[in-house]
Structure 1
């Protein structure tokens, strides 16, 4: 869905207004030569061949050396799996003395089924594993030496007994802090059922959804890489937002918000990584039905299953989403309009009414051929379409006395299909060594035809100019794109000793993209195309990467994770019709990632990290297309965009689940979208992405979970601090600084008779996005849930934007002088700002209660439950 793009969908002078903003501004003033500093058309090539050779040689040497062992330590670890090969999370692992079965120590398996014991004296022991839905089992007695022991994989048999009624409650908090970022356990929220994935993201700490421009930000910055089950979603921000809007949150297990990812992740994403993990429950089925209303009707349905058949696990889920929306924006502006013969004051009202339907299917399998070898695969399919109608009404008061009125009706039908096929193989080479190979294929297709009819007349009923291609009442357009991508990667890990673990890997990605678009105008009864509004681009991109990461226990309380990732990218874009190369660039760079963790006490630790990341320009931003907006302006891409390089330094402190972090971030050449400049002829405005010179931020991040009583829990998250930026694309370069912040809160009340209530909200403070400024905005949401007895499901009622506050006011012309001396104020109202959105959802689960990420009440000791929370 396009809210502020395309045929007459926006007034060039304001709709594209900004990330929220406020602050102190220091225009460079005058005719500074700052903006005249030029860079070469192609990216700076940093092949770093000597560095690359040294890095690969070092990788091979370390891998070879790993075979010779390491430092001794009394560490006992292993993994717990089900008969189908799936990890068994949150199971009790009790260490008992073999001689008399006296209890020694307890641990809890994590989400991957891993258990760990440290500080155990040498001796003979037994491990006892237990979990609801599985048979409590003891291992044979074993000898633990000073060198430690890797227990490998232990298979825990499932119970055949069917329980009449089991009450299951999520033990994990809604927000869980980890060294690399925040984990959002979406099922812990009353508001999850019936929501879209986009709505869940919008309620998550530090995440910013710009619904005007269909983009995603994290911790006050753009340049976010979004992944699905650890695989990069390779599509434009606008298309990605539409896909997430159509995905049901019922199918999501958790969302990882990683602002400082380790070296094993792609270096892409200067602001960090958002990884969406789909459910893979075992021996479970679930259905969910949702109905609701805001301005228009809402409906959703989903069904999922998972089943173990001997050593093979099968899973799948399907969801459908229907959303009839309404939004609008109003712009008041003042700027020079050469086509009208002078300065103009105008008012522009745009009403957008999109109706979206989407289908999402995810199926897959995991099979274990023997205790050391497993493989699996899956298919994720998304099909969506949006029928959209836009009504635009505007009045222009020209300084020469003319008054021109615009009445436009725009219709469009945006369709896209997305399919991802994935395969993997996992080999346990030895008790201390593991190899995994993944292969993915993505195919994406989009088609978006539009038609527009508009009338533009002065106060005497005369058109403002001739019936040419610009002022023709009838306009039609066609755009489409096909993206194909193949990814192969190999990851190897080796536990050299109890204190030292090595991870290394290789990855190759190849992407082929074809995009074509064009605009035609009805002139003298014939459809006439315009060369300036026609685009046909083919892009081929290859990215090779190699990484090395070392996990070391330096001291008893001090641990280190140090790694580096080298990536080399080659991108070539060409226009096959013109036989012209649009862009041909190569970039090789090393991205280090270092994490230090100091365990101060059992309940507190200190963390220090440094990471370097990159954000490459999106394909749509690079393509030199031209989109007709109205007679005063055009939208286009920018083939001269440079990638953003980001350095992050983070100091974190964790005390009993309370997390505080200080983060310094420096972006070089950050990419800012929807910025204004003049055309080469100076007769209309051009809307396109540009690079800022730099963006610096120093932020305090805090997450404060509080359990007031057994029935009342709350969580507060704040991310805010000082920001500074410098613009170079504007008429006069300018420097600005401001204090920006975001805040989230969640209150959960567990009531008698199976009722629970949640109140949550978020607020984004004033901020800047390039030369655009916006006031702060936010919303408050509420929900109530009823759990029925005898496993008969649950009923949820949710209200989005209770106080109808999601209105965003943005400005052009406040930082420095804009192109054609534009100044404007734009108020954008989302659907919930017009009408509260109310949804009712019924959901029910069938089968085993062995939900991944869930535990039965009272299972395990209090210490273990606290360990899960922290």
Structure 2
């Protein structure tokens, strides 16, 4: 249940303090029940000349397909310990420079700790060579019960691409214009290196376009996040992890790529890293210069209203844009003591988009006869500098891998936007003097967070996790529009405005993990108290305070060697972002603009999922989600009349979502791996808007097929294809679309260099064809972009190539946040 209370602005700080104290007290609640814990396998590694080998790479594999589950390094005594889910079959491999790889027989891991016989490595015939290089490549996709991991760093298709391009090829992710979806649903929590990105819609899309894929390590698609994650995001969480060099000594890499579609696209970057026993300093920088086009054809039908006659219009829009961005990160990890790790990092992303849009509009009367005809030219200069800083601490209370651990993080991020607009309209029929609308829009968004997480083992092989987090978001926005017609310039007070938005969320959670008799259980509860303030300059302020509980439960049962079942239940929320409630306008052309909706309400959802896993690799999942007051994006007639349209978000009454998910990772040969996913779903929306009653749904599917090829002489290749069927989302109906992309990769210069060549959207099948239908209005649009691109890229790595042992690495905040989330 959600309770909304409207108070005067003076009460806002008082409620923040009151609820922060109340929520923080949840950490002292009594805890009961049993939860998931992982069993462990341990052993020692030696050789014929030494009973102990340090820094040997020990990997735990699934016995069925040899996919790596976990990797660790042996210590000074040659000992190792690997944790995994009990009741499943595994194998252990051990590798060390100068020795042949060792493979253990398959074994079933019982509860508790299994000790393997001592492992003795045999010297390899290549041990006498001066340079011996051991390489290991993670699979492109890894499927786990609650998430899919896409390892981007080694993908040939990532070269020269943007983060938005890579997400568009991820299994189950849809990119509909500027809107992101996961498995047929919108409303996501996007996390970058453990930190929330508080953007949505066009601003989020522009941010992801400015972030080069060369900086990405992996992307995690989390459909059932545990209680340690924010409850924001009804469809789930997309966690983007950036690269971080783990090599010892001083080293780095340089990369450059050039792509060509209709226009050119360049990306270049440099990374540097210095790591020694108790210190790691690192930094990277990437520059991007991309030009591209966007072409939109519109057809609109207006039904007669008391204030406006019936009409129709045909529009063509042609936009040419240039995006330049600078992305950088600096960090320092320091071992304060044997067990205390301190990390600090700063990141920056500055982008500038200069775009020119030409528009032709023909208006027709009710009888179909041509009426007004005019053209417009829009020049926009958009600057988006942003920066963030993080301070983090990790302290395990013992040397054991299973010791109680405390982590703490403090983050501050600031996003600024300056949008300058010149919109000139030329009238052909009836003829009149041109008009000029200028706009100066400036906004500042700041987000500060502080969190602490505590994890400790309990009796009976259980583990407790608990934490608290405080988030504060502040957004200041101002826009001034001026009209120039026949000489005089006047400020348009009707659409010039100021808007301030504040959001404070105080949260606390507890998680219990445990296992017994081939059954594992994770149960968590998260409490969040929210305070929001929306204050436009021309209307009364609107304040809301509400408290909610978000339970999450995941139970897994291993039936036998081949079959396992998992059942999950989560409750989530979609709070409107500052962009979605900001009523200030951003014009696209003379007939269209976008604006926020200050009356948006948060949407809450319950999510159920039942998953069957066969041979620990093939999975089938059935899921249902019910969302109350879902937030959807619509295009509808503007209250201004004059056949203008506005793009904004609105609340509907209910959304019902049913899905069947099939996942099949297959090793066809030693050199060919296939990862296939299929999402079959039914989305049904109920609500009312703009005089139109909505009860609409349709069966749809999203299919992804990815092939990875390991070829001789250092070559590898990747082929990716996806298909999105026709679907209905609220008042919008989208036609089917898809894409095929291919990439080739070659190792050079004793594996210090990598050459990549790829082609995206080979058959140019990604244009969006969509229709919005209301009782009094219909719009059909066809959108094409510069997405068929051929890219060549070169990367060179220099310096020390020895990788640090995992137990000696100083972990930054992003690694600790992922660990705290059970990843």
Once the two structures are TM-superposed, the CA of residue 362 in structure 1 deviates from its matched residue by: 1.3
**Which of 771, 774, 779 is residue 824 of structure 1 equivalent to?**
779
2:270 aligns with: 303
1:20 aligns with: none
Distance 1:70 1:716, change over 3 A: closer
Partner secondary structure for residue 511 of structure 1:
strand
2:713 aligns with: 753
Distance 1:556 1:111, change over 3 A: farther
Once the two structures are TM-superposed, the CA of residue 562 in structure 1 deviates from its matched residue by: 0.2
Distance 1:412 1:851, change over 3 A: farther
- Distance in 2, matches of 1:375 and 1:40, equals 41
Once the two structures are TM-superposed, the CA of residue 757 in structure 1 deviates from its matched residue by: 2.1
- Distance in 2, matches of 1:128 and 1:741, equals 39
Once the two structures are TM-superposed, the CA of residue 791 in structure 1 deviates from its matched residue by: 2.5
Partner secondary structure for residue 708 of structure 1:
strand
- Distance in 2, matches of 1:114 and 1:269, equals 36
- Distance in 2, matches of 1:756 and 1:509, equals 44
Distance 1:282 1:341, change over 3 A: closer
Larger RCO: 1 or 2 (CA < 8 Å, sep 6+)? 1
Once the two structures are TM-superposed, the CA of residue 92 in structure 1 deviates from its matched residue by: 4.6
- Distance in 1, matches of 2:729 and 2:173, equals 15
Establish whether residue 173 from structure 1 lines up as the match of residue 139 from structure 2. yes
**Which of 396, 402, 418 is residue 428 of structure 1 equivalent to?**
396
- Distance in 1, matches of 2:6 and 2:388, equals 32
**Which of 428, 445, 462 is residue 431 of structure 2 equivalent to?**
462
Contact 1:664–1:699 (CA<8 Å) still a contact in 2?
Answer: yes
Deviations 1:713-733 (A, max 9, x none): 211111112221113113131
Distance 1:128 1:595, change over 3 A: closer
Establish whether residue 690 from structure 1 lines up as the match of residue 621 from structure 2. no
Contact 1:41–1:640 (CA<8 Å) still a contact in 2?
Answer: no
Once the two structures are TM-superposed, the CA of residue 236 in structure 1 deviates from its matched residue by: 3.4
Partner secondary structure for residue 261 of structure 1:
coil
Contact 1:107–1:116 (CA<8 Å) still a contact in 2?
Answer: no
Most deviating of 354-363 and 674-683:
674-683
Partner secondary structure for residue 541 of structure 2:
strand
1:3 aligns with: none
1:861 aligns with: none
- Unpaired runs of at least 5, structure 1: 1-38, 81-86, 95-105, 121-126, 137-145, 151-160, 855-869
2:596 aligns with: 637
Establish whether residue 375 from structure 1 lines up as the match of residue 339 from structure 2. no
Most deviating of 534-543 and 789-798:
789-798
Once the two structures are TM-superposed, the CA of residue 62 in structure 1 deviates from its matched residue by: 4.3
- Distance in 1, matches of 2:804 and 2:786, equals 35
Contact 1:170–1:188 (CA<8 Å) still a contact in 2?
Answer: no
- Distance in 2, matches of 1:366 and 1:535, equals 45
Contact 1:107–1:115 (CA<8 Å) still a contact in 2?
Answer: no
Once the two structures are TM-superposed, the CA of residue 675 in structure 1 deviates from its matched residue by: 3.6
Establish whether residue 413 from structure 1 lines up as the match of residue 381 from structure 2. yes
Distance 1:604 1:313, change over 3 A: farther
Distance 1:635 1:228, change over 3 A: closer
Distance 1:520 1:609, change over 3 A: same
Establish whether residue 186 from structure 1 lines up as the match of residue 146 from structure 2. no
Most deviating of 611-620 and 765-774:
765-774
Contact 1:72–1:499 (CA<8 Å) still a contact in 2?
Answer: yes
Q: CA RMSD in A?
A: 3.9
2:355 aligns with: 388
Establish whether residue 659 from structure 1 lines up as the match of residue 626 from structure 2. no
1:267 aligns with: 231
Establish whether residue 347 from structure 1 lines up as the match of residue 314 from structure 2. yes
1:84 aligns with: none
- Distance in 1, matches of 2:639 and 2:44, equals 62
Establish whether residue 737 from structure 1 lines up as the match of residue 703 from structure 2. no
Q: How does 1:762-801 map to 2 (within 5 A)?
A: 762-801=722-761
Partner secondary structure for residue 205 of structure 1:
coil
TM-score if structure 1 supplies the norm length?
0.79
Deviations 1:724-781 (A, max 9, x none): 1113113131201100211111112222222222211112111123211110111100
Distance 1:826 1:405, change over 3 A: same
1:581 aligns with: 540
- Distance in 1, matches of 2:435 and 2:304, equals 19
Distance 1:497 1:852, change over 3 A: farther
Deviations 1:341-391 (A, max 9, x none): 733232210001111011111121211122221111111110101010001
- Distance in 1, matches of 2:151 and 2:354, equals 33
Contact 1:48–1:588 (CA<8 Å) still a contact in 2?
Answer: no
Contact 1:89–1:109 (CA<8 Å) still a contact in 2?
Answer: no
- Distance in 2, matches of 1:243 and 1:780, equals 25
Partner secondary structure for residue 310 of structure 2:
strand
Partner secondary structure for residue 326 of structure 1:
strand
Contact 1:72–1:147 (CA<8 Å) still a contact in 2?
Answer: no
1:841 aligns with: 793
Once the two structures are TM-superposed, the CA of residue 107 in structure 1 deviates from its matched residue by: 9.1
Task: State the number of aligned residues.
Answer: 748
Q: How does 1:680-719 map to 2 (within 5 A)?
A: 685-719=645-679
Establish whether residue 608 from structure 1 lines up as the match of residue 608 from structure 2. no
- Distance in 2, matches of 1:649 and 1:51, equals 30
Partner secondary structure for residue 371 of structure 1:
coil
Partner secondary structure for residue 636 of structure 2:
strand
- Distance in 1, matches of 2:163 and 2:129, equals 33
1:590 aligns with: 549
Contact 2:159–2:791 (CA<8 Å) still a contact in 1?
Answer: no
- Distance in 2, matches of 1:532 and 1:766, equals 40
- Distance in 1, matches of 2:728 and 2:325, equals 33
**Which of 364, 375, 397 is residue 364 of structure 2 equivalent to?**
397
Partner secondary structure for residue 531 of structure 1:
coil
1:21 aligns with: none
**Which of 166, 172, 182 is residue 206 of structure 1 equivalent to?**
172
Establish whether residue 218 from structure 1 lines up as the match of residue 182 from structure 2. yes
Distance 1:233 1:678, change over 3 A: closer
- Distance in 1, matches of 2:452 and 2:409, equals 6
Deviations 1:635-677 (A, max 9, x none): 4322111111011101112223222211111111110123425
- Distance in 1, matches of 2:721 and 2:86, equals 44
Partner secondary structure for residue 408 of structure 2:
strand
Deviations 1:390-414 (A, max 9, x none): 0101212223755321111110111
Partner secondary structure for residue 733 of structure 1:
strand
1:445 aligns with: 416
- Distance in 1, matches of 2:377 and 2:38, equals 73
Contact 2:264–2:290 (CA<8 Å) still a contact in 1?
Answer: yes
Most deviating of 52-61 and 326-335:
52-61
Q: How does 1:74-89 map to 2 (within 5 A)?
A: none
Partner secondary structure for residue 397 of structure 2:
strand
Once the two structures are TM-superposed, the CA of residue 109 in structure 1 deviates from its matched residue by: 2.9
Distance 1:673 1:824, change over 3 A: closer
Once the two structures are TM-superposed, the CA of residue 168 in structure 1 deviates from its matched residue by: 5.5
TM-score if structure 2 supplies the norm length?
0.83
**Which of 318, 323, 330 is residue 290 of structure 2 equivalent to?**
323
- Distance in 2, matches of 1:539 and 1:78, equals 56
Once the two structures are TM-superposed, the CA of residue 251 in structure 1 deviates from its matched residue by: 1.7
Contact 1:545–1:568 (CA<8 Å) still a contact in 2?
Answer: yes
- Distance in 1, matches of 2:660 and 2:55, equals 36
2:580 aligns with: 621
Contact 1:692–1:726 (CA<8 Å) still a contact in 2?
Answer: yes
Establish whether residue 804 from structure 1 lines up as the match of residue 764 from structure 2. yes
Contact 1:562–1:595 (CA<8 Å) still a contact in 2?
Answer: yes
- Distance in 2, matches of 1:411 and 1:514, equals 24
- Distance in 2, matches of 1:587 and 1:163, equals 67
Contact 2:36–2:521 (CA<8 Å) still a contact in 1?
Answer: no
- Distance in 1, matches of 2:36 and 2:754, equals 52
- Unpaired runs of at least 5, structure 2: 46-53, 62-67, 75-79, 102-110, 116-126, 807-822
1:279 aligns with: 243
Once the two structures are TM-superposed, the CA of residue 206 in structure 1 deviates from its matched residue by: 0.8
